[in-house]
Structure 1
Amino acid sequence: MRQPLLAVQDAEIGTASSSEAPALLVSADGSDGGNDPRSNLGGSLRQGHGIAARSASFNRARSFRDSDIGHSHYSHRSPWLRAALLGSNDGLVSITSLMLGVGAVETSHTMMIISGLSGLIAGACSMAIGEYISVYGQRDSEEADLQKEREEFEKGPEAVARELRELTQIYVARGVPYDLARQVAEALHESDPIRAHAREELGIDLDDLSDPGQAAVVSAISFFLGGITPLLSGCVITDYNTRITVLIALSTVLFIALGALGAWLGGAPQARAAVRTTVGGWLAMAITYAVVWAFGASGV
């Protein structure tokens, strides 16, 4: 009588996310389950002892979330939002420091607003262009690496076997027993070899390739939103001393908020991050003010 099948899901293979490990279906006596319909995951492997059923689809593997494993992770939590917060902090520090620098030598309300507006537009454009070029270069590198992998698989059976050995050794190096590593590698090769090698060998997620356009837009908007607040505060306050005081106070509040929010997204202590962000912003403003004031006082 056939023994019940034991579902062994999410085998630990040392990958960055254990939810992406293949699901293996193995009978208690080491067989592949014969014709038992429960073992039909799209075809069984033909090599190795204790033959395992083929891995479930990547979409199923990617469906696992923190709620399925009982705890939360922060390293991949809303990465685009954290990047936007960094861009907003850049805008806030840059525009506030620029306006204070102008205020160190010029009390004119108009001059401070014009300088702040110029810095806001130039900074947003610079962020967008720089990010676009940087991410596009990264995307080109990813595409070039993926193309090399595709070409390897087109060279014939010997090259495919070499790639299979390479993937197996990746898992072995992470502490997986050779036989299991071989089974996992074979299952992934049957499913989607390019995707498997992209993730495990190159660290590239085919579902999340770099997007230069998105990076440029997010960078520009985040910088603009961070810099527009101090600029608007300067627009509505005409008295010089009041304007400088409000500018510093408002920026301090925003430094605290951005630092705490960024730490919350990353699961880090919020108070420490808020203090770190605030002190950094104060240093930038103080250095800018002092240097510009010194140049102005020297008559340069």
Structure 2
Amino acid sequence: MTEPTHDETHGGSLGSRLNWLRAAVLGANDGIVSTAGLVVGVAGATSDRSTLLTAGLAGLLAGSMSMAAGEYVSVSTQRDSEMAALAVERRELREQPEAELEELTGLLEARGLTRAVAHDAAVQLTQRDALRAHARVELGIDPDDLTNPWHAAWASFLAFTAGALLPLLAIVLPPSDWRLPVTVVSVLLALACTGWSSARLGAAAPARAVVRNVSGGAVAMTVTYGAGALLGAAGV
């Protein structure tokens, strides 16, 4: 008989990968819903292929750039905060090492260690790398793996673009009579997939997430198509 293996991944890398995957799924979902709403709304007013393509491309580019810029600004702010917190911790370690050692001991003790074991662990961690020990235990920051705003921006840009391409292609490639039904069906199927994926990544029940996602997309397309049809009928 072979011994059972234990291959569960531990550590911050798993959580980081799950966060990136979740962000990618949500970015793709945003691209699907926003672009689908846009092109379906325009389709309510006109069936001209070039108009639909122009509107879809404009929505794709505007949305992907907006997502990338917003993610870059957000993650840059987070990184600046992390760097500032590390700078404060570095100064405190230099100016009052004994107080910082006592603080680390207290933090480890609060996690369930006895006072003696917490003190010994704090001493060993401080001797090995005091800044890294305080960053991880006190601040919850890995100084070797700070958030990268460029990675976040590119991930959001690509995820949104990938999601937006589906409704864009679905509205311009089929014949005129099939554009709307093909777009609606493909978008709802894609939203079911992203809802299921986001739920699984969050360890939640997928059925509710799928229904919520599909319902939201259906409402968005219904509203925008109705608005486009009214504007088209009014000759706007």
- TM-score normalized with structure 2 length: 0.88
Q: 1:172 to 1:299 in 2, by over 3 A?
A: farther
CA contact (8 A) 2:43 2:228 kept: no
For residues 145 and 67 of structure 1, the distance between their equivalents in structure 2, rounded to whole angstroms, comes to 28
The aligned counterpart of 1:243 is 179
For residues 213 and 76 of structure 1, the distance between their equivalents in structure 2, rounded to whole angstroms, comes to 16
Q: Which runs of 5+ in 1 are unaligned?
A: 1-63, 69-73
For residues 206 and 162 of structure 1, the distance between their equivalents in structure 2, rounded to whole angstroms, comes to 21
The aligned counterpart of 2:104 is 167
Q: How does 1:78-93 map to 2 (within 5 A)?
A: 78-93=18-33
Equivalent AA in structure 2 for residue 154 of structure 1: R
The aligned counterpart of 2:162 is 225
Equivalent AA in structure 1 for residue 81 of structure 2: S
In the TM superposition, residue 298 of structure 1 has moved relative to its aligned partner by: 6.1
In the TM superposition, residue 77 of structure 1 has moved relative to its aligned partner by: 5.2
For residues 276 and 106 of structure 1, the distance between their equivalents in structure 2, rounded to whole angstroms, comes to 29
**RCO comparison, higher one (Cα < 8 Å, 6+):** 2
Q: How does 1:244-263 map to 2 (within 5 A)?
A: 244-263=180-199
In the TM superposition, residue 103 of structure 1 has moved relative to its aligned partner by: 1.6
| SS of residue matched to 1:171 | helix
Match of residue 118, structure 2, among 181, 188, 197: 181
CA contact (8 A) 2:45 2:228 kept: yes
Q: Tell which structure's C-alpha radius of gyration is larger.
A: 1
Q: Percent identity?
A: 42
- More off after superposition, 262-271 vs 119-128: 262-271
The aligned counterpart of 1:98 is 38
Give the superposed CA RMSD: 2.2
For residues 33 and 121 of structure 2, the distance between their equivalents in structure 1, rounded to whole angstroms, comes to 50
| SS of residue matched to 2:192 | helix
Residue deviations 1:137-163, cap 9 Å, x none? 1111111110111111222xxx10111
| SS of residue matched to 1:154 | helix
The aligned counterpart of 2:86 is 146
- TM-score normalized with structure 1 length: 0.70
Aligned length: 228
For residues 152 and 91 of structure 1, the distance between their equivalents in structure 2, rounded to whole angstroms, comes to 45
Greater per-residue helix proportion: 2
In the TM superposition, residue 212 of structure 1 has moved relative to its aligned partner by: 0.6
For residues 67 and 83 of structure 1, the distance between their equivalents in structure 2, rounded to whole angstroms, comes to 20
Q: Which runs of 5+ in 2 are unaligned?
A: 1-5
Q: Does 1:267 align with 2:203?
A: yes
The aligned counterpart of 2:213 is 277
Q: 1:65 to 1:210 in 2, by over 3 A?
A: farther
Match of residue 207, structure 1, among 120, 141, 144: 144
In the TM superposition, residue 169 of structure 1 has moved relative to its aligned partner by: 1.6
In the TM superposition, residue 78 of structure 1 has moved relative to its aligned partner by: 2.7
Residue deviations 1:178-213, cap 9 Å, x none? 222212211211111111111111111123210011
Q: Does 1:113 align with 2:49?
A: no
CA contact (8 A) 2:46 2:232 kept: no
